[in-house]
Structure 1
Amino acid sequence: MPAFLVLFELFPKLMMTEMAVLLFRYLAKMFPLVVFLEGAPYLLNWYRHHNVQNQVFEIKLD
């Protein structure tokens, strides 16, 4: 697992900070294919994991 993903795993709130955005943009410029292949599925899972309550609430509204 890439180091920046470990960092996000240990500090999930860091995802919302400007520093994390800048770091991800830098990595995307340096290693676009690697960041996309390694990061996209993990970030999607992270988003789903941290929005489970919102998804359940939306399902109940439907």
Structure 2
Amino acid sequence: MPDTSQHFLIRTGYGCWNVMRGRQLLAGRRDLFDALTLLCYFMRLHRGATAAPAPAQPRADR
């Protein structure tokens, strides 16, 4: 069963932006732009890990 937990961006009381998936801390940054970039990266990484494998390509010599 694939992991269906979502990714979140949370601002802490210390002024840090944390990228989280469920209860797992993935990264933390002080700059919002850096945190958003990491959030997008982890979302793409997670989506690629849970995607179904691509079907085999037909051979060109047939």
- TM-score, normalization: structure 1? 0.36
Instruction: Name which one, 1 or 2, has greater alpha-carbon Rg.
Output: 2
Greater share of helix residues, 1 or 2? Answer: 1
**Relative contact order, higher structure (CA 8 A, sep 6+):** 1
